[in-house]
Each structure stands twice: as structure tokens, then as C-alpha cells.
Amino acid sequence: MSESLLADASQRLENALKYVKISEDAIERLKYPKASISVSIPVRLDNGSLRIFQGYRVRYDDTRGPTKGGVRYHPNVCMDEVQSLAFWMTFKCAALNLPFGGGKGGITLNPKELSRMELERLSRGYIDAIADFIGPDVDILAPDVYTNAMIMGWMMDQYSILQRKLCPAVVTGKPITIGGSVGRDTATALGAFFVMEAMLPKFDRRPQETTVAVQGFGNAGAMLAELLWQAGYKVVAVSDSKGGIYAPQGLDIPSIRHYKEASRSIQAVYCKDTVCNIVEHTVITNEELLELDVDVLVPAALENQITSANADRIRARYIFEVANGPITSAADRVLEAKGVYVFPDILVNAGGVTVSYFEWVQNRSGLYWTLDEVNQRLKQKMLDAAEPIWAIARDQGMPVRTAAYVYALERLEEAIRTKGTRDYYLNGH
């Protein structure tokens, strides 16, 4: 992971500052994370050997409330990446008007190399190491890349053991039986779908006439692909970490999801048994998927998928970022010059943190909502953010990403100003 990832993420803040006047105090506060911690986690493996894993947690800004953010298990996890993700979460929570700041965490490893028991020891060890750094009113954890409800349950349980009391609100994305919220597992995809359904008609795009490619067939990408398929969009390509498939006439997404779950690989879906007969297809790479001639591109994998090296070859007219940071700031400039509309991660994938907020509220109140209530509240939250952000972009002629940062920045500035700024103290009122 490049050491300049946080600097690249901060470039989005610099772009937004050209369009909005905020106090020097706010700018200074948002340049640096409030607190960061790096920990070593010893884990006894099943074969009896001891292995040390490196873990991180960052609380970027808590002006608007306790920090909130996921924990990812991935070989590329490092402090720079975690700080960047926490930075994005700060603006995402402000854009959606959630009473949170931005946080993030992670452990450097390939989780596929560990057994389930080893993953549990690692997850509980991570909480042992950062317990004094987190809490329901300080910093709330959630699932991210290669973490899930079971892992969140282990983390919540370990924190509760350390506190000598049940603390369900310290972690969101938990199993429903121990305080999780219905709708959390589909929230990121459904939130993105609501944004797409609201934005594409503004360009006179009809589902049946719109082709879509989805890079990343994990939980969010696969669910979004199926939601789009159900709504009548022509999903022509999908991919996972091992590669992808492309069929110009459209793919049968429910069948692909079914076989993917059984085979663990997109390529296996179209290369084994009778599933190969579902539709004619072409096997492609992730890089090739990004450059397909489609109307809508959905990067739903990892960061830095579209860079200055390939941005000029992107042919999609509309990009909806379901992954965090899939496009670099340099690539943004190329795409803008090409007339590509990029709907940013801090809006499009905010469904996950929004329903995590709902879970936190339910944990603290003891009153739990139905799936319909959760989804209706989610839709309202997503539209309440998407419409004004689009209006700013349209009326001021700026990229949608910049409009989203301007919208979030105004909320952050207001909260920082409420606590007192240089202007307040010098002017004496």
C-alpha cells in the first residue's frame, strides 16, 4: 500500500476547500487523525506455534460524535490505509448527517490462511489490545473486508468480558440473535441501489437500456448486482479476486450468486458442470472489466482500482463507488475531462454505516425495528443526502465527489465552530 494514500485522500478535501469558506481551525483539525494506535497481537496457532499479527485502529475526528468504522482483515492493511479509511468515514458520516466521526481498524494478514479457531483467537486478541481505545461512546467497530457478523460477535463478547457487563453497542454488524439489526447485511448494497435509482433517471437512463459492470462480487457487489438485475438493468459483467465473466446479452445474476457460494469462484461458475450452459460468456480479468464499453461501472472491490494508468481507457459514462477509494485523485481529473460522472464512495456506500447507526441506536434504546422499518429509514437517509449533493454539483458545476465533500465539510465546520474558533475568540463574541 502506497504511503501516499492518506495524502491522496486529503486531495479531495483540498478540492472542496476551493468552493467553501471555512475557518482555519476546521482545516487544521481535519488535516490529522485525532488518535492512532498500533498493536501486536500474539496468537497461538492450532499447530502449537506462536504468531504475532500487527493490528491498527484510528479515530480520525470525533467533533460530531464517537468515531465509527469497520475492521478489515487483509494482507495490505497498514497504518496509512487505516488512516485514509478513517478520513473517508469522517466525511461519510457528516454527509449522511450521522452523529459520528470517522474511525477505522484492521489487522495485516490473509484470513484464508487461518482456521476458524485461529480467527477467533485473533479477533479476541485484537479487542484485548485496543479495549481502552474503543467503547460505545468513544469508538464503535463494524465489519469490513474479510470480517463478518461472527467476527463482530466475538469482538463484542470479548469487550463485554473485559468490561464485566454486556456492551452490545460497542460493535455493529453483529449476529441478530445478540443485538444485531435486521437489514445490516444488505445495507451497503441497498443504499447504493437507492442512490443509483435516484440519480440515473436524471440522465434519462432507463433500466432496460442500461448496461452495468460490477467489479467485486463480495457481499455488497453481489447483492447490488442482483438488485440491479431484479430492477431490469442489464448486468453484463461481474468479477471477484480470481477474475470475471462478461456476456453482452446480460448475465443471470441469481444463478451466478448461487454457484459462486458453492464454488467460491466466479470463474468456476462458468467453467464447471451445467452452469456453463446458462449463457455464453467470455472470461475476463478485473482490469478488463473496468475498461468494458458499458453505461455504468460499479467498483466494489478495493482501493486504487482506477488510476492515472488506466483512467483514460475507462469507457463507462457513470461510475458508482461501492468500494472505499477505488479511484485516485489523479484518475478523477482524467475522468472529469472525459465527461464521466463519478458518484463517490462517501455517498454511494454509506448504507452500511447508516444501518450500523440504526443498530447502535437500537442497542442503546432496547427497541428493535422491523426489516421494513430499517429499509425505509435507510432509503430516506440515502435520498436526503443524494439529492442536495446532486443539486450542489449541478448548480455550481462541480464534480459530484467535490459536491459531497462540500456538503459534508459544511456540517463539520458548523460542529467545529460551535466549540469555538479563532474568529470567535478574536472578535469577542
Q: What pLDDT sits at residue 263? A: 64
- Asked if pLDDT for residue 424 goes beyond 80, the answer is no
- Predicted structure pTM score: 0.90
**Rounded mean pLDDT of 109-118?**
96
Name the band, by pLDDT with cuts 50, 70 and 90, for residue 218.
confident
Name the band, by pLDDT with cuts 50, 70 and 90, for residue 268.
low
Name the band, by pLDDT with cuts 50, 70 and 90, for residue 267.
low
Q: What pLDDT sits at residue 393? A: 96
Q: What pLDDT sits at residue 326? A: 94
pLDDT, mean over the chain: 91
pLDDT tens-digit profile of 274-333? 334 445 678 899 999 999 999 999 999 988 899 999 999 999 999 999 998 899 999 999
Alpha-carbon dihedral angle through residues 193, 359, 176, 72, given to the nearest 10 degrees: 70
Domains contained in the chain, CATH given: 33-178 (3.40.50.10860), 187-348 (3.40.50.720)
**Rounded mean pLDDT of 371-385?**
98
Catalytic residues: 104
DSSP assignments along 1-41, one per residue: --TTHHHHHHHHHHHHHTT----HHHHHHHTS-SEEEEEEE
Please check whether residue 131 is in contact with residue 156, taking contact to mean a CB–CB distance below 8 angstroms: no
pLDDT tens-digit profile of 163-199? 999 999 999 999 999 999 999 999 999 999 999 999 9
Among residues of the chain, what percentage have pLDDT more than 90?
A: 76
Name the band, by pLDDT with cuts 50, 70 and 90, for residue 3.
very low
Top-confidence residue, 282 or 424: 282
Decide the pairing of beta strands 318-320 and 341-343.
parallel
pLDDT tens-digit profile of 11-69? 787 888 888 888 888 888 888 899 999 999 999 999 999 999 999 999 999 999 999 99
Q: How far apart are CA 218 and CA 185, in angstroms?
A: 12
Q: How far apart are CA 103 and CA 97, in angstroms?
A: 16
Q: What pLDDT sits at residue 276? A: 41
Q: What pLDDT sits at residue 100? A: 97
| Distance from the Cα of residue 343 to its chain's centroid | 13
